[in-house]
Amino acid sequence: MGEVMLKGFICERCKHKWFPRNDKIPLVCPKCKSPYWNKQRKSRR
């Protein structure tokens, strides 16, 4: 049997994982709706 590799995304805010329907980079996380899904949260001092 062969292996299939799927490209997916992980939200840096809520850690939700999903597979896109098309090749475009998503604007928001489908679970938490954050537009900053691909940026790490800045730590507090």
Count other C-beta atoms under 10 Å from residue 12's C-beta: 15
What percent of the chain is predicted at pLDDT more than 90?
A: 62
Residue 44's pLDDT is 75
Q: How far apart are CA 10 and CA 38, in angstroms?
A: 8
What's 15's DSSP letter?
A: -
Could you report the per-residue pLDDT of 30-45, keeping only the tens digit for each? 999 999 999 988 887 6
Q: What is the pLDDT of residue 37?
A: 95
**How much is the pTM?**
0.77
Domain segments of the chain: what residues? 1-45
* Rounded Cα distance, 30 and 45, in Å: 30
